[in-house]
């Protein structure tokens, strides 16, 4: 597994913060790194697979990948990401207990992904540009970084609950957390205060695929992680991940990944 180092992504190993932008994101190989990173999804959508679990990410999502995490992006669309890198070997000079604030965005937790509506995403981008494109004292840079974090935190309480994009954000989180279950789509739409037609349309617009295919993709990604990391039988994994027929599971797996589950296991 690739390990991305501080020397590769920071101008100086004494810097606390660094900036990395990807357009598009092409890091589809699982990796870890020596630094923490706050990721803002600027454009697009895709699956973020972290510590073996797939999470759908879309424009406006904000999350923290910690240096102990291992992850990669499995594309459903074309992702454009902004990454604020944080060097754990250097301390903030003026800020204290930032780890506690940042922990609430931890990407390994299903409910921890923050979401920025378009106006606040633009504001955050402006603050980020100020942090990295202007010569500042440490005090000024840290003040701007704190301002950025507070915008993200406040956005979670200020976002309009009747905002359709916000409802979709919560709906997709729910589907991720319950991807192995069978769903009554009419009841699910009602629960999130959407019409079934609106729900299906927005899920397809966000993911590029139908809701059923989206669930199947989540199940297959979860199954691939279990095949690689556990000693469960292929049949056990198929049933655990919501597939009622192991032969059908094998056929879908090969169609999606170009390799059978058995051959995937041999690669361990």
- More confident site: 122 or 53: 122
- Please check whether residues 56 and 114 belong to one and the same domain: yes
Report which DSSP code applies to 267.
T
What was the pLDDT predicted at 228? Answer: 86
CATH, residue 217? 1.10.10.60
Answer for the pair 59, 41: CB distance below 8 angstroms, yes or no: yes
- Please check whether residues 154 and 174 belong to one and the same domain: no
State the chain's mean pLDDT as an integer.
88
What was the pLDDT predicted at 145? Answer: 96
What was the pLDDT predicted at 115? Answer: 87
Domain hosting 88: range is 2-158
Domain count, the chain: 2
- Please check whether residues 119 and 252 belong to one and the same domain: no
Can you tell me whether residue 57 is helix, strand or coil? strand
Answer for the pair 133, 19: CB distance below 8 angstroms, yes or no: no
- The residues pairing with 58 across neighbouring beta strands, listed in sequence order, are 45
Report which DSSP code applies to 7.
H
- pLDDT, tens digit (0-9, with 9 covering 90-100), for 212-230: 999 999 999 889 988 988 8
Picking from 158, 187, 222, the residue at the C-terminal end of a domain is: 158
Distance, first Cα to last Cα, the chain: 13
Compute CA distances 158 → 43, 114, 124, 152, 169, whole Å: 22, 12, 15, 10, 15
CA distance linking residue 18 with residue 131, whole number of Å:
10
Where does residue 54 rank: exposed (0-12), middle (13-18), buried (19+ CB within 10 A)? buried
CA distance linking residue 257 with residue 252, whole number of Å:
9
Backbone CA torsion sign across 53, 58, 62, 66:
positive
- Please check whether residues 143 and 201 belong to one and the same domain: no
pTM score of the predicted model: 0.81
- pLDDT, tens digit (0-9, with 9 covering 90-100), for 35-73: 999 999 998 888 888 988 888 888 899 999 999 899 988
Query: Has residue 160 got a pLDDT over 60?
Result: no
Kindly report the length of the chain: 268
Where does residue 46 rank: exposed (0-12), middle (13-18), buried (19+ CB within 10 A)? buried
Query: Has residue 267 got a pLDDT over 70?
Result: yes
């Amino acid at each position: 597994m690739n390990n991305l180092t501080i020397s590769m992504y920071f101008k100086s190993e004494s810097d606390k913060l660094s900036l990395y932008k990807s357009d598009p994101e092409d890091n589809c190989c699982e990796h870890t790194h020596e630094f923490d990173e706050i990721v803002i999804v600027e454009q697009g959508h895709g699956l973020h697979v972290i510590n073996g679990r797939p999470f759908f990410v879309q424009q406006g999502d904000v999350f923290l990948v910690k240096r102990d995490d291992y992850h990669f992006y499995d594309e459903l669309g074309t992702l454009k990401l902004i990454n604020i890198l944080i060097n754990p070997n250097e301390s903030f000079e003026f800020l204290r207990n930032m780890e506690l604030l940042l922990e609430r965005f931890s990407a390994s937790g299903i409910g921890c992904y923050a979401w920025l509506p378009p106006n606040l995403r633009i504001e955050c981008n402006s603050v980020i540009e100020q942090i990295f494109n202007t010569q500042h004292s440490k005090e000024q840079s840290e003040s701007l970084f704190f301002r950025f974090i507070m915008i993200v935190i406040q956005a979670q309480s200020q976002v309009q609950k009747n905002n359709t994009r916000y409802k979709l954000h919560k709906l997709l989180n729910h589907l991720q957390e319950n991807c192995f279950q069978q769903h009554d789509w009419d009841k699910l739409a009602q629960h999130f205060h959407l019409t079934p037609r609106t729900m299906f349309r927005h899920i397809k617009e966000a993911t590029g695929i139908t809701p059923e295919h989206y669930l199947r993709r989540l199940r297959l990604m979860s199954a691939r992680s279990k095949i690689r990391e556990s000693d469960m039988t292929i049949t056990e994994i198929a049933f655990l991940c919501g597939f009622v027929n192991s032969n059908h599971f094998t056929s879908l797996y090969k169609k999606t990944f170009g390799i059978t589950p058995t051959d995937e296991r041999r690669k361990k």
